[in-house]
Chains A and B, each alone.
Chain A
Amino acid sequence: MTLIDTLQLSFKTIMSYRIRSLLIILAMSLGVAAVIVLTALGDGARRYVVNQFSSIGTNLLVVMPGRAETSGSFPGAVLGQTPRDLTLKDAQLIGRIPQVKRYAPLNVGVAELSAATRLREVTVLGSNANLIPIRHMKLSQGSFLTQGSARSAQIVLGAKLAKEFFPNNNAIGQRIRLDGNRFLVSGVLVPQGESMGFNTDEVVIIPIDYAQSLFNTTSLFRILVEAKNRHAIQPAKQAILDTMKESHDGEDDTTVITQDAVLETFDRILHALTLAVAGIAAISLIVAGVLIMNVMLVAVNQRTTEIGLLKAIGANTADIRRLFFVEALWLSLAGAVIGFMLGQFGSLLLRLAYPLLPAWAPAWACLAGIIVALITGILASLLPASRAAHLNPVTALSKK
């Protein structure tokens, strides 16, 4: 029996048991579609987070006071000392490191913003002109705290605040008070919405000096650093740590977080999550495989006399085995292909429903879904096919 004849004959069989075949194909395709849609969802979430991270800055390093380790290895803790604060002087030292492109010291606090009859509490960021490029922020109007003018009492308003306080879209050049101190509005931020749990539409930005006197502090909350390029991130981190140690009398009391480390962690977690979800979906494929096995066993039982007849007219065990094997293969192949299309369609619906989510199933997931479907189909057919092949023709033919 030639391969083409085997394919044709089992195809005819599938077509003549239409409902049975459709149900198996449905089960198989739902399994494949589940793998594809769920990985599209997981990978979409991963890409979404990665994009969000990239949007807060590239080649970003964050310097913060204190040691990140919780193991208590900071010797000062034993001696009852607290880690030393970061200061503007530290920030300037960091700015001299060759791998550092630019830096922005950062203080954060809350203050009362008032103009004319309006008054509300806002989050205040104190920084320098570099904050905007480092954090990938944009201005819709005016200018930022121009470089070197840290002492002029300028203020930049978040988009929403600008609208609230100056509904006529004429914020630039207006006077506004922050806890009673007068500021001149120099710029308005482009509305960005929530990003990493932080809404830049409702902040104001003032020069670092003003922020420090406003909050009555000399220490910095963070220093944001942009490395020259991606390869400079690690050397920059080391250089910053060294510089800080030197500046802090040999104490290792600063922590530097690199953005790509955080990114990588999220990337890994979400990737693992995607894999886990895909694995769970793949279980439905195994269930479909069990279904195929069951249906094929029933088919062998149903077609016992037919198998006996085929043997009587000269089919050997290999022929019979192949017929049943190929039948299962057709079913799982149809299930895989239809499932693939269903999955792509489902991902498309996801993307339409959540335009922010890049829900594209990765190629590996599509491939894995299809291959697992085929393999379970093949494995599930082995037992029934072998049972059919080894039927005794005489007893098979005499079965009522």
Chain B
Amino acid sequence: MICLAGITRIFHMGDQTVHALNDINLTISSGEYVSIMGPSGSGKSTLLNIIGLLDKPDHGNYELDDKIVTDLNETEQAQIRREKIGFVFQTFHLVPRLSAAENIELPLILGGIPPKERRQRVQEALLAFNLEDRAQHRPAELSGGQRQRVAIARATIMQPKAILADEPTGNLDHQIGSEVIHLLEKSHQSGTTLIVVTHDRELGARAHRQITMRDGKIQTDQTNDTD
């Protein structure tokens, strides 16, 4: 499903150049559960952003669903983000003035789904993520775990092919964090590809395929056969 070939991403900081990604080759099949680990600054977020079409590589080729997406224009890439990819961030990134339900509804609005269907799907999502009684609350009135549940509900509401989570538990305590991971794994069990960037070895080990990065390169890439 995801096929990266020779992906390089270079940042210029003054007269310094940083190879955030250095000639990455990576193939992830549909329905895989992948964790990406590595020290700070090793390029994990940059890799995730390129997979999610938020960032463009300086070199290399990216095929998504057998289609080269590197050269697509901005509008086409936005459409792919909307339909095929769900993002989950460490800092949740909820819109502060919208209620939980409205935040979950946003991708449906961007997708031009008619209001009646939107209400129904948001209602289902609120139920699935146990947020019915928080539907009208603003993000500021929610706990961290609740906020991340809203964010995951928002990431999954368009039934994307892949969920990209960048340290989804980074701002949560251990117990709440594992609840959140369970929710992500639940959507993986229904067939979605799940890629999680994490610093937590224990959480990382839960993935079927574990990738470690260092200095913009993939260092190890191992798959658990036991599962």
- A residues whose Cβ falls under 8 Å from a Cβ of B: 1-2, 5, 9, 12-13, 16, 305-306, 308-319, 393-394, 397
Contact = CB atoms under 8 A, between A and B. Distances in A.
Interface residues of B, number: 28
Interface stretch (B92-100, B119-127, B197-205): B92-100
A316 B52 CA distance: 14
Contact of B54 (A9, A12, A312, A316): A312
Contact of B107 (A313, A318, A393, A397): A313
Q: 8 nearest interchain CB pairs? A: A314-B82, A316-B78, A16-B97, A309-B93, A314-B81, A316-B75, A313-B107, A312-B87
A310 B106 contact: yes
Contact of A314 (B49, B83, B93, B97): B83
Contacts of A315: 78, 82, 110
B106 A313 contact: yes
30 contacts: A1-B109, A1-B112, A9-B109, A12-B98, A12-B102, A13-B97, A16-B97, A306-B95, A308-B93, A309-B93, A309-B95, A312-B52, A313-B82, A313-B86, A313-B87, A313-B107, A313-B110, A313-B155, A314-B81, A314-B83, A314-B110, A314-B111, A315-B78, A315-B110, A316-B74, A317-B75, A319-B78, A394-B49, A394-B54, A397-B93
B62 interface: no
B147 interface: no
B149 interface: no
Interface of B: 49, 52, 54-55, 74-75, 78-79, 81-83, 86-87, 89, 93, 95, 97-98, 102, 106-107, 109-112, 154-155, 158
Nearest to B94: A309
Nearest to A318: B75
A313 B49 contact: no
A319 to B, nearest CB: 6
Contacts of B87: 312-313
A1 B97 contact: no
B112 A2 contact: yes
A93 to B, nearest CB: 85
A81 B217 CA distance: 111
B97 A313 contact: no
Given A1-B109, A5-B109, A311 B95 contact: no
Nearest to B46: A394
A319 B155 CA distance: 19
A335 B49 CA distance: 42
B128 to A, nearest CB: 18
A183 B196 CA distance: 115
B127 to A, nearest CB: 21
Contact of B93 (A2, A305, A318): A305
B170 to A, nearest CB: 14
A211 B205 CA distance: 122
Nearest to B75: A316
Contacts of B74: 316-317
Contacts of A319: 78, 110
